[in-house]
Structure 1
């Protein structure tokens, strides 16, 4: 389970980092970082749901 928790923390961290970078990026790169942030947030949500499934099964 700790592997999934580590992945969750990593995706959340990457999402936050991309969000911060988007704030300072120039206009042409801002969209890229916002999309990357959203992608990492979706991955974090999926891992969170997977962890919850394991918690329910236990």
Structure 2
């Protein structure tokens, strides 16, 4: 999932450099959503792993 967030971030940067503002904004938004989703799943996984070991 982090891979897809990075892919959308790169697409947003390239689209922004080329002047495609709408595509850049949409790609940046998708990258942000995927990054925070990844971060939430990471935190949940760490908590579950901690609880299992105790």
Q: What TM-score, normalized by structure 1, do the two folds share?
A: 0.76
Cα RMSD, aligned residues only: 0.8
Q: Which stretches of structure 1, 4 residues or longer, exceed 6 Å deviation after superposition?
A: none
By how many angstroms is 1:36 displaced? 0.3
Which ranges of structure 1 fall in alignment gaps of 5 or more residues? 1-10
CA distance in 2, matches of 1:50, 1:14: 20
Q: What TM-score, normalized by structure 2, do the two folds share?
A: 0.81
Match of 1:20 among 10, 23, 28: 10
Number of aligned residue pairs: give it: 48
1:36 and 2:38 correspond = no
By how many angstroms is 1:24 displaced? 1.3
Which ranges of structure 2 fall in alignment gaps of 5 or more residues? none
By how many angstroms is 1:55 displaced? 1.3
Deviation track 1:20-41 (CA, whole Å, cap 9, x = no partner) reads: 0001111121100000000000
